[in-house]
Amino acid sequence: MTTCWTWGYDGYDPEREPLVEALCTLANGRFATRGSAPECTAGTAHYPGTYLAGCYDRLTSVVAGERVENEDLVNLPNWTLLRYRCRPDDGPAGDWLTPDATELRHHDVRLDLRAGVLTRRLFFEDARGRGLRVSHMRLVHMRDPGLAAQYTLFRAYGWSGSVEVLSVLDGTVTNAGVERYRHLDGRHLTDHRTGFESDGVAWISCRTADPGIRIAMAVRTVTRPAGPAREESTTAGTVQTYHLPIVPHRSAMVVKTLALHTSMDWPAADPLSAATDVIARAPSFPRLLSAHKAAWQRVWEQGELRVPGEVGRILRLHMFHLLQTLSPHTADLDVGVPARGLHGEAYRGHVFWDELFVLPYLDLHFPEVARALLMYRHRRLPAAREAARLAGHQGAMFPWQSASSGREETQALHLNPRSGRWLPDHSHLQRHVGSAVAYNVWRYAQATGDRGFLHAAGAEILLEVARYWSGAATFDPALGRYRIRGVMGPDEYHDAYPDAANPGIDDNAYTNATAAWVLARGLDLLGELPAARRSELSEQLSLNDGELARWEAVSRRLYVPFHQGVVSQFEGYGDLAELDWESYRARYGDIRRLDRILEAEGDTVNRYQASKQADTLMMGYLFGPEELYGLFARLGYRLDEEVWRATVSYYLRRTSHGSTLSGLVHGWVLARQKGADAWRYCEETLLADVADVQGGTTGEGIHLGAMAGTIDLVERGLTGLETGPEGLRVAPVPLAEIPRFAYTLCCGRHRGVRLRRLPGRLAIRVPASPEGPLTVVLPGDRKVTVPAGHERWFRL
């Protein structure tokens, strides 16, 4: 049965398995295990994967005659593998059973979102009517982030004998989860060693090729009835074989408990000794389960958004994946926001600008986690400075794709699966990622009031990004304005002008407007810093008045192109050819990846007014109308509701939504302007992963930005919520499909503030605390206060 707290799949469909595995991944912020069938190793339908946050490895491969380096989130040894077969007293041993066996009669998968437990139930029956029921339960421990466990129960029907069980620790795994990366070397694990300890403990230790992270996994296998095991080491793994006597109505059980330790952990310890010590003391499955459930309950209390109905159920799944990718444990780690979660190998576990869609939720619910994610960027500030220096610039140039070191990890070549051609990848020109990092710093500080962070690490990030923009902008005397040239906007389709010799486009409106915003905030920040810190930073960064005067000038005179009364996505966008959208839709059906379609036809999307995803419209996602119009006014442009509406409808007609982030931004922008199609885009984003709308990509990892964004769309988008020094500002907009919802948030030093939305009404409850009353600013700048320990309702 599927309820609002469960997510399930009935029956077995090998083609659906990659999706099931990704959406049934279990994690605790530190590591994740895909929801793969324990019986199976990697193949077309199955792909067991265990990934440790921040554990990347670099390998060099040769593709299309070129040597390319790639850093990947490493697939760790498979600890879940459990093979079994029946040995009836009255006949020979049966075949090894898997969901692909012809004897399979029943199969279902249930993910209990409240408890963080995955259950797979199978029933096999052979030609002679001998049945075996198998139930697996798995958890990745939310309280102790070094542990995971898998409990398997066997029950015989109509026969007696034994079940032969192989409990395997498989270190032969490689990174092979994404078809289009299979040309690349995926053998990241080396120097395998294996062994056994007393009490059914097997272990494996290995290291990544470069930079040599040492990894140890110790697995304790306990069976009931208890019995001796035959223990063998294989090339890169261990096998423990058990013969469990079984009779009808009496079940047999196997529990595998995992301890995972690596040389990335602190305090530093030998990973193998740590793993074997921990596993020797690890509690029994029932005790692990109850502590795990209690930890999840606390996570839900802090993180839940309640929305009734099916929308609420999907949102809960999104929250589940967000909360287990970036859990409270993340606050202790040096990791960024992996665009595809810890759920698969797409985009190699890299960190893009997607934190822009994730941090707002964390700011409101788990500010410590948001801060840790910003510190990941801060630790990589030296690498960003070096990248800027090498490019001939000042300040910090954050990479479009980041992983362990903070250097640029964007691939040099990418494969168009439609044409089979390897093409140069210029997406590293998306310099706007730096503004996303700076924006997140500022918004985090606004939402939480964490001046300590803003004035220390936050200021260093923000000022260095501002400085980069100031230097990257060049003055064009003919225009009388500053320009930023040779970049790419969030729309990844346009990486060059048609027939241009060099990549990059000029004056991307989103890049320029956000750069101007960062420069202005940099100046604001310098203005608010305590004198001592300001002079310390000025000295450290060698900031002088001349440079600040330039920041001021650039922030007011950056060029933003317009055409036909709308903001141009970039200079010359309006001169590009119009695409015959209907004919492409008719010919190809799904045209989300128009770039690949056109390239395969020998054409290029660079020639057309066609965008992959929200680019100019991103401005309406980041900024409320007043702030956006004010930003343009500061730049000396008139942007008002009329121009903005015209801009929105212009790009709506010219966007293929080749990224799951696109529907989210369009849904947000339309909902805020009470546009007719808002729900269509919101719904598309809600379904992005659960219905795999991008066609086969979810199995390679969830789309974390879109998942988090849907939650934030309800929490901030539909309420117009802003938390800042003045308190809580709300400007709700109705969305008929989500008329009611409730959640608990942090607002500055107030924790546990409860917001409830009903049609035409909104309630705010402030918990009893020494923080005193909370100021709420309602539409029309109406200020009210809600005393601690009280709830107030407002008519809208």
Q: Which residues are catalytic?
A: 492
# of chain residues touching ligand BGC (CB under 6 A): 12
From residue 265, how far is each of 134, 141, 257, 274 by CA, in Å?
Answer: 36, 17, 19, 10
Report the distance separating Cα 405 and Cα 77, nearest Å.
Answer: 24
Task: Please identify, using beta-carbon distances, which residue of 352 and 584 lies nearer to ligand BGC.
Answer: 352
Using rule CB under 6 A, residue 356 touches ligand BGC: no
Give Cα 431 distance to the centre of its chain: 20
Least CB distance to ligand BGC at residue 363 (A): 19
Using rule CB under 6 A, residue 613 touches ligand BGC: yes
Q: What is the DSSP letter of 231?
A: E
Using rule CB under 6 A, residue 487 touches ligand BGC: no
Task: Please identify, using beta-carbon distances, which residue of 595 and 722 lies nearer to ligand BGC.
Answer: 595
Among 12, 353, 632, 644, binds ligand BGC (CB under 6 A): 353
Task: Please identify, using beta-carbon distances, which residue of 349 and 367 lies nearer to ligand BGC.
Answer: 349
Using rule CB under 6 A, residue 354 touches ligand BGC: yes
Contact 756, 762 (CB under 8 A): yes
Report the distance separating Cα 608 and Cα 586, nearest Å.
Answer: 18
Task: Please identify, using beta-carbon distances, which residue of 427 and 538 lies nearer to ligand BGC.
Answer: 427
Which range touches ligand BGC (CB under 6 A), out of 25-33, 48-56, 87-95, 348-356?
A: 348-356
Radius of gyration of the chain (CA): 27
Least CB distance to ligand BGC at residue 349 (A): 11
Least CB distance to ligand BGC at residue 606 (A): 16
Report the distance separating Cα 403 and Cα 405, nearest Å.
Answer: 6
Least CB distance to ligand BGC at residue 357 (A): 9
Q: What angle do CA 32, 380, 445 make, to 5 degrees?
A: 85
Output the six-digit token pair for 610. 């066609």
Using rule CB under 6 A, residue 394 touches ligand BGC: no
Task: Please identify, using beta-carbon distances, which residue of 350 and 716 lies nearer to ligand BGC.
Answer: 350
Using rule CB under 6 A, residue 570 touches ligand BGC: no
Task: Please identify, using beta-carbon distances, which residue of 347 and 482 lies nearer to ligand BGC.
Answer: 347
Using rule CB under 6 A, residue 347 touches ligand BGC: yes
Residues in the chain: 796
Least CB distance to ligand BGC at residue 164 (A): 44
What residues contact residue 647 under an 8 Å CB cut-off, 6+ apart?
566, 567, 616, 617
**How many Cα neighbours within 13 Å face the side chain of 518?**
32
Least CB distance to ligand BGC at residue 660 (A): 8
Which range touches ligand BGC (CB under 6 A), out of 211-219, 267-275, 352-360, 603-611?
A: 352-360
Q: Is 249 exposed, middle or buried (0-12, 13-18, 19+ CB in 10 A)?
A: exposed
| Residues 8-47 contacting ligand BGC, CB under 6 A | none
Task: Please identify, using beta-carbon distances, which residue of 661 and 718 lies nearer to ligand BGC.
Answer: 661
Rounded to 5 degrees, what are φ and ψ at 266?
A: -130, 150
Which range touches ligand BGC (CB under 6 A), out of 40-48, 284-292, 349-357, 530-538?
A: 349-357
Using rule CB under 6 A, residue 357 touches ligand BGC: no
Beta strands in 569-717 (DSSP E): none
Least CB distance to ligand BGC at residue 701 (A): 9
Report the distance separating Cα 563 and Cα 310, nearest Å.
Answer: 42
| Residues 636-665 contacting ligand BGC, CB under 6 A | 659, 661
Task: Please identify, using beta-carbon distances, which residue of 80 and 659 lies nearer to ligand BGC.
Answer: 659
Using rule CB under 6 A, residue 352 touches ligand BGC: yes
| Residues 593-612 contacting ligand BGC, CB under 6 A | 612
Among 339, 429, 664, 688, binds ligand BGC (CB under 6 A): 339
Report the distance separating Cα 367 and Cα 59, nearest Å.
Answer: 35
Q: How many other CB atoms sit within 10 Å of the CB of residue 485? A: 16
Least CB distance to ligand BGC at residue 340 (A): 7
Least CB distance to ligand BGC at residue 132 (A): 42
Least CB distance to ligand BGC at residue 401 (A): 8
Give the per-residue contact string, 489-518, with ligand BGC (x = CB under 6 A; - = no). -x-x--------------------------
| Residues 661-720 contacting ligand BGC, CB under 6 A | 661, 705
Report the distance separating Cα 186 and Cα 511, nearest Å.
Answer: 35
Closest-CA residue to 471 (of 431, 526, 504): 431
Give the per-residue contact string, 282-321, with ligand BGC (x = CB under 6 A; - = no). ----------------------------------------
Closest-CA residue to 371 (of 436, 447, 320, 282): 447
Q: Which residue has the tokens 């109905």?
A: 309
Rounded to 5 degrees, what are φ and ψ at 215?
A: -125, 135
Q: Which helix (H) or strand (E) holds 20?
A: helix 17-23
Task: Please identify, using beta-carbon distances, which residue of 429 and 459 lies nearer to ligand BGC.
Answer: 429
Characterize the bridge pairing of strands 230-234 and 214-224. unpaired
Helix, strand, or coil here: 682? helix
Task: Please identify, using beta-carbon distances, which residue of 346 and 566 lies nearer to ligand BGC.
Answer: 346
Closest-CA residue to 394 (of 506, 488, 470): 470
Q: What angle do CA 144, 145, 149 make, to 5 degrees?
A: 80
Q: Which residue has the tokens 């539909």?
A: 718
Does residue 14 have a cis bond before it (omega within 30 degrees)?
no
Task: List interacting residues with ligand BGC (CB under 6 A).
Answer: 339, 347, 352-354, 490, 492, 612-613, 659, 661, 705
